[in-house]
Amino acid sequence: MQSANVLLKRIVRSSVLPFAAQHGIKKDLFPLSRTLSLSLCLKQDNSCNPSEKLDLDAWKKVMRSGLQEEVSETVSESKELSALAAAREILEMWRLAGRAVPENISEEQLKTFMECPSKSAKKKYLKYLHLKELYKKNDKRKVEEKRERRLETKEQASETHETKKTSFVCLWASAMDRAYNWRVAQSMVFGQPLVFDMSYEKDMSFREVANTVRQLVLSESCNRRSVDPFHIHFCNFKDDSLYHKEFIKHYKEAWSKLLITVTDQCYTEVFPKEKLIYLTADSPRVMKTFDHDKIYIVGSMVDKSIKTGVSLARAKRLGLETAALPLEKYLLWNTGAKNLTLDQMMHILLTLKDTGDWKKALEFVPKRKYCGFVNKPVHELKKTLNLINTLKLGKRQEEVLKQFAKNYSKKLTQK
C-alpha cells in the first residue's frame, strides 16, 4: 500500500504538477484524495512511457552537428591571437558564463584590464565597467521613452492649435546663467576665498582622481548657484596633471571661462598664514563657528582606502591651524567615515556662511551616516548622565573609592 502511495506521489509530481500549477493550485494544497483526477493522469502517463521514447543524448548530436566547417576556421585563427584578442576572448567566455562583464569594451579599457595586478582587481574592474554599461543603457532607454512621450503630447497639442501669450521671450536658462555669472564675478572681487588643495594626486589612484574632479565640478556648480558664492581657489594646481586632464574632460572649452582662480602656487604663498584654516576630519580641534575672515582649505582628495592623517600631515608641515566639523557634537553618528565628499563640504560651508546655523548646514551629511540630531550638545548630555550615575551609586561610595585610591598610592610610595 505504501509503495503504491509513493508511486502515486511521484506521478503527481512529475506530470500533474505543471498542469496543476497552471491552474493556480498550490503544490502543498494539492489533495491526494482526489482520485478522479489522479486516475485520469495515470492513464495519460501510462500511454506514453518517457524513458522509452526519449533519446537522452540527442543534445550531443545537435551540438556536434553542423559545426565542422567552423572548426577548421577557428584552428587557423587561434594561431595568430594577439594578447589583446586573447583577453577579449576570455572576456567573451566570462560573459557567456554569466559573470558581470561588459558587452562592449574599448581597446583602452582592455589594456587597463590586462594591467590589473591581480585576479580580484580584474574582476572588480570588469564589474565596474559592467555596471557603468548597464546604467548607460538604462539612461538611454529612459531618454528614448521620454522623447516618444513628448512627441505624443506634441501631436495632441498640435491638434488643439493653441498658442500661449507671455511677456517674456523664453530664454530662462541663459538669463539665469548670466545672473549667476554676475554674482560669481562679484565674489571674485569681494567674496570670501575658499581654497581647494590640489596636491594629492600621487596619493590617489586614477579612479580616485576622476571621482575627485567630479566632486569638484559639483561643488563649483553649487557654489555658482548660491546667493553669496565663495571665491574658489585651486591651489597647487599643476598644468597637464591628471586633475587638469579630467577637468578638461568635464568642462571642455568652458574650463578657461570658469570664474575661479587656478594657480600652481601654494595657499601659503597666496594668503597670510595666520588666516588659513585647514579642514580635515583628523584634526584634534573642532570647529565652533564659521569665521568670515578666515580662509578655509579643503583637501581635494578621495580616499577609498581611508588614509588617515595625510591632510593633517600637510597642515602640520606648513604649520597651519586645522579644524574638523563638529559632527559628533550635533549628530548621533551611526556608520561610515567622518570624511565627507567635496560637494557635501561645499554645501555645508555655503549654508554656514549664509546662516551660521549648524543644524541646517549638517543636513547635508548623508542620512545613512547618522541616526539623528543631538538636541542638546553632547557635554550637557554627559553631565546629566553623570548625575544619574551618581544618584544611582550614591555619592558616598565614590568618595570612599577615591579615598582608598589615595591611601593606596601613599602606601606604595612609602615602600
Partner 1 sequence: VQPPEKPLQAEEWNKLRESFRSPEIFEEVMFNNMVRCNSPIDVAKSLLTHVAKSNGDVTYNLLVKYLALCVQQGQTSEIRDVYDIMKIRFKILESGAYNLLIKGLSNSDQWRMALTLLEEVKKIMIPSRTNYESCIKAASRHQEMNLAFELYHEMLAKDLVPTLDVLQAFFDFCRGMKGAELQKELFGILLYLRDNQIYPHKTFMRSIKLWFESIPGENWRTRLTNIKDSGLCPVCNHQLEDSDLTEAEYNNLRERIIKDVIHGTDTFRKTSPQEFEAFQKFVENRLPFDIVIDGLNVSHLKSRKMQCENLFDAVNCLAKENARLLVLGRKHMLANSSHWKREIMKEMQNKADFFFAENISEDDAFLLYATLQSGKHCKFVTRDFLRDHKACLSDSKTRHLFRKWQRGHQIALIYCVKSKKVFLSVFIQQPALRYDCVVQTTGDTWHIPYKDTFDEKYSYQVPRKWLCIQQK
Positions touching partner 1 (CB under 8 A) are 10, 13-15, 17-19, 21-22, 27, 48, 50-51, 53-60, 62-64, 67, 71, 74, 77-78, 86, 89-90, 93-94, 96-98, 119, 203, 284, 308-310, 312-314, 316-317, 401, 404-405, 408-409, 412-413, 415
Closer CB to partner 1, 175 or 286, in the complex? 286
CA distance linking residue 29 with residue 36, whole number of Å: 16
Closer CB to partner 1, 180 or 326, in the complex? 326
Cβ of residue 309: shortest distance to partner 1, in angstroms? Answer: 4
Record the cell numbers describing residue 192, joined without a space. Answer: 570670501
Contact present, 299 and 311 (Cβ < 8 Å): yes
3-state SS, residue 260: coil
Cβ of residue 410: shortest distance to partner 1, in angstroms? Answer: 10
Closer CB to partner 1, 94 or 180, in the complex? 94
Which residues have a Cβ under 8 Å from the Cβ of 243 and sit 6 or more positions away? Answer: 198, 201, 209, 212, 213, 237, 300
225 burial via Cβ count (<10 Å: 0-12, 13-18, 19+): middle
Please state, as a whole number, how many other Cβ atoms lie within 10 Å of the Cβ of residue 11. 17
Cβ of residue 66: shortest distance to partner 1, in angstroms? Answer: 9
Q: For residue 24, is it left (φ>0), alpha (ψ between -120 and 50) or beta? A: left
Cβ of residue 256: shortest distance to partner 1, in angstroms? Answer: 34
CA distance linking residue 192 with residue 224, whole number of Å: 14
Cβ of residue 396: shortest distance to partner 1, in angstroms? Answer: 16
Cβ of residue 148: shortest distance to partner 1, in angstroms? Answer: 25
In the chain, the N- to C-terminal Cα span, in Å, equals 92
Q: Are strands 261-262 and 231-235 parallel, antiparallel or unpaired?
A: parallel
**CA distances in angstroms from 145 to 18, 139, 141, 154, 155, listed in the order given:** 37, 10, 6, 14, 16
Closer CB to partner 1, 79 or 257, in the complex? 79
Cell 565542422 -> residue: 68
- Amino acid 246 reads E
Cβ of residue 385: shortest distance to partner 1, in angstroms? Answer: 15
DSSP per residue, 181-203: HHHHHHHHHHSPEEEEE---GGG
Which residues have a Cβ under 8 Å from the Cβ of 199 and sit 6 or more positions away? Answer: 235, 236, 266, 314
Cβ of residue 173: shortest distance to partner 1, in angstroms? Answer: 43
Closer CB to partner 1, 355 or 409, in the complex? 409
DSSP-assigned beta bridge partners for residue 262: 234
Closer CB to partner 1, 67 or 337, in the complex? 67
Cβ of residue 76: shortest distance to partner 1, in angstroms? Answer: 11
CA distance linking residue 166 with residue 257, whole number of Å: 33
CA distance linking residue 341 with residue 338, whole number of Å: 10
Cβ of residue 285: shortest distance to partner 1, in angstroms? Answer: 10
